[in-house]
Homo-oligomer: A and B are copies of this chain.
Amino acid sequence: MANITKKVSWSSRADESGATGERTPLLNGSEQQNPLSRQPSEGGSVFQIGRLSTVDLEEEITSDEESLRGRPKEIPHTEKLLSLKYESLDYDNIENQLFLEEERRMSYMGFRCLEISRWVVCGLIGFLTGLIACFIDIAVEQLAGIKYQVVKTNIEKFTEAGGLSISLLLWAFLNSAIVMLGAIMVAFFEPIAAGSGIPQIKCYLNGIKIPRVVRLKTLVVKVCGVICSVVGGLAVGKEGPMIHSGAVVAAGVSQGRSTSLKRDFKMFEYFRRDTEKRDFVSAGAAAGVSAAFGAPVGGVLFSLEEGASFWNQMLTWRIFFASMISTFTLNFFLSIYHNKTGDLSSPGLINFGRFQGDSVAYNLYEIPLFIAMGAIGGLLGALFNILNYWLTIFRIRYVHRPCLQVMEAMLVAAVTAAVSFTMIYFSNDCQPLGPEHNEEYPLQLFCADGEYNSMATAFFNTPERSVRSLFHNQPGSYNPLTLGLFTLTYFFLACWTYGLAVSAGVFIPSLLIGAAWGRLFGILLASIPSNGSIWADPGKYALIGAAAQLGGIVRMTLSLTVIMVEATGNVTYGLPIMLVLMTAKIVGDYFVEGLYDIHIKLQSVPFLHWDAPATSHWLTAREVMSAPVTCLNRIEKVGTIVDTLSNTSTNHNGFPVVVQVSGTDEPAKLCGLILRSQLIVLLKHKVFVELARSRLTHRKLQLKDFRDAYPRFPPIQSIHVSQDERECMMDLTEFMNATPYTVPQETSLPRVFKLFRALGLRHLVVADDENRVVGLVTRKDLARYHLGKHGLEELQLAQT
């Protein structure tokens, strides 16, 4: 697969940087360097610093190779590609004159007010996220209640009369119908709302612009979709999507307007830029985690683990505030709903219940057992991920039409119902219906009166309740066969389900699988004849198994530990959970990456990890950078700018601004950096200087004009520039970022990477010792390098 695509689309490379033309992939082992002695050659005012004389030659070679192999019509998705369709977010402030003037005008009180409004926004984010979680919870509970009640009545009716296949059909039909609703919304209206949204939020916080990921429409589809998929009985949870929902709420609230609803509340205009928005989205994601698991600290850690490149105490504290408000809101409204107003004891959507008392204490000699369970979790998780990887590849190739996606979702829903029914039908694990039973829908089926079918507590229930039953039901509530069969079937169902075109999370199914085999493990231990009393509580092993399985699948570390501990409500489990997660991660990483990372890679997203690959010190900025760079003059002809922006073959997003010392033929020096979006706004407002009359024909542009256009800047094609105007000049001095970060060409890749990542940059100018632009480093230039099996590998860039 990787072989087929090896040379594809090299020649059509175009990215954010100023690079056109060819680069020499590392894999070829060729030592050719970008020629450095290139001189400005283009007339007019665009400096093409460096022109690649080898472009045509290499393009021919590429074509030859491709024709030899039979040029593929469609580029298959593989993780060896890096897509060029993703743009970066700019987490570095654009410090141009306008910005600095505004900041300098602002008094200390102004900054205080800003800080207060940040807190207000975070409070709002937490509140709304909590409300949404509450809505989802109540809707799922009500609708699932109706569904299970209908099916239960039906089953009870036909158990005696015979003809249970009608019940099966009813169940399968109900599931499919509900799932179809959700799948149609996702597949036809907003495909980005599929899945849990966690990979997308990871990417956003990493600095990648995923189109439509934080729009209102996405939120609506997500919320409705997740209700449908959970009610539809799929092997999914409603927790993962809460993180995405929180992020969308944050992005919406913090901007003080909705582009979808065409309402601008004229509030929070200061926050209309990537830097501020990112901070709020972090808070939103944390609030989502907090609402989902009742884990405010875990939420903060999740946001930091996934997003933060620069830890700021006040920001963290605000994120924590949003998290707390979110879990508190959810808790409060749920307590009203449950007629226990003011009782704040159910802090999240999923609640593991209280692990208290002596039976749950663990002892030293159990630690090795926990570690072994972690290893099992890692193995099973890796298996899950590999299966899901193949499935996803298959889906990308063959199931990419929306109607096919809807049909697949319906099929899965029907199969889930059928499998569940079969398992329950053939199970003969009857348990007495004691007074302390807390089954919502106990199915008697073929059991004696006063008993219920144990398999049904696992299958005929929302997954959250099943998890809780596995953790807390009395020892002896399940027999080992039931648990074994359940683990097996649910594993494959969950694996098949993840990646469907429905909104759904993988947390709960993972926990459920883990809890099942964990409980099984506990029961088996208890059956060992020696002092059996000490293994009395299988619920403890269910918890450890759940942690192991979840850790083996998603490979989160600190944040997951804290989430699990907070959801358990018991700090004593900190050490075993950490050990288990650590073991699961180590074992799992040996085979394959985490599920989210796999999906990010399959999307060919230029994701930047924490550090540059370990063995990349021998690469320098010179090899990494894109060159030649399209530069603009500080005072530039409008026509040139329009032409540069319209050049679809390059489609650059950032342009170094250079200035030539007048009267000399010295090469132009770097004096700033300007973004495509800024140029678009300038062109739209006709900020031109007519040379003939030498006066300004435009009103003074304000930062507000840029903020109003943010974040959906119009394309260059929508801006009409007359022939006369093309002859005007444009003065970029005020608008360019006059102090872009630069590095010399000899800087090593890890150093470039660190600067880029720590400051959340989008463009990093490479300058020579005369301060002339020689190249530009963008996210894709850095994300290309990764450690493969054969040492450092270079991913290829494609337009897919």
Contacts and interface: CB of A to CB of B under 8 A. Distances in A.
B317 A557 contact: yes
Contact of A771 (B308, B321, B362, B771): B771
A701 B223 CA distance: 64
B575 A572 contact: no
Given A572-B344, A615-B108, A759 B769 contact: no
Contacts of A111: 614-615
Contacts of A442: none
A530 interface: no
B744 A312 contact: no
A791 B109 CA distance: 10
A699 interface: no
A758 to B, nearest CB: 4
Given A343-B363, A344-B362, A313 B305 contact: yes
Interface stretch (A240-248, A476-484, A560-568): A560-568
Nearest to A568: B571
A425 B422 CA distance: 78
A64 interface: no
Contact of A739 (B106, B320, B572, B748): B748
A390 interface: no
B758 A615 contact: no
Interface string A540-578: 000000000000000001100110011001111011001
A446 interface: no
Interface stretch (A1-9, A324-332, A397-405, A410-418): A324-332
A694 interface: no
Nearest to A617: B103
Contacts of A617: 100, 103-104
Interface string A765-779: 001011100000000
B578 A320 contact: yes
Contacts of A562: 297
A368 to B, nearest CB: 13
A503 to B, nearest CB: 27
A350 to B, nearest CB: 14
A68 interface: no
A784 interface: no
Contacts of A669: 769-770
A346 B672 CA distance: 59
Contacts of A574: 296-297, 324, 566
Contacts of A561: 297, 320
Interface in A629-654: none
A610 B312 contact: yes
A361 B342 CA distance: 11
Chain B CB count within 10 A is highest, among A312, A341, A615, for: A615
Contacts of A106: 615
B297 A304 contact: no
A33 interface: no
A324 B572 CA distance: 11
Given A108-B787, A310-B758, A610-B314, A327 B575 contact: yes
Given A100-B617, A343-B363, A751-B95, A324 B575 contact: yes
Interface string A92-112: 010100001001101110010
A353 to B, nearest CB: 13
A59 to B, nearest CB: 32
Contacts of A758: 309-310, 758-759
B310 A305 contact: no
Interface in A595-614: 610-611, 614
A345 interface: yes
A742 B741 CA distance: 8
A311 B311 contact: yes
Nearest to A327: B575
Name the interface size band of chain A: 35 or more
A154 interface: no
Given A571-B565, A751-B739, A342 B363 contact: yes
A683 to B, nearest CB: 26
Nearest to A297: B562
Contact of A345 (B304, B565, B572, B759): B572
A364 interface: yes
A278 to B, nearest CB: 14
B748 A743 contact: no
A769 B759 CA distance: 22
B332 A558 contact: no
B364 A575 contact: no
Contacts of A100: 617-618, 748
A447 interface: no
A704 interface: no
A142 to B, nearest CB: 25
B755 A759 contact: yes
A132 interface: no
A747 interface: yes
A185 interface: no
A343 B364 CA distance: 7
Contacts of A364: 332, 341-342, 344
26 contacts: A95-B751, A103-B617, A108-B791, A111-B614, A297-B297, A305-B313, A310-B310, A312-B611, A316-B557, A320-B561, A321-B578, A321-B582, A324-B579, A343-B363, A344-B363, A345-B361, A345-B572, A347-B572, A569-B572, A570-B571, A669-B769, A742-B742, A754-B759, A758-B758, A758-B759, A767-B771
Given A313-B558, A345-B361, A738-B746, 19 more contacts: A104-B618, A107-B615, A108-B615, A296-B574, A309-B310, A310-B311, A310-B754, A310-B758, A311-B311, A317-B582, A328-B575, A342-B363, A342-B365, A344-B364, A344-B572, A347-B572, A565-B571, A669-B769, A741-B743
Task: Give the 10 A-B residue pairs with the shortest CB-CB distance, closest first.
Answer: A103-B617, A111-B614, A342-B364, A739-B747, A758-B758, A104-B618, A569-B571, A342-B363, A317-B557, A312-B610
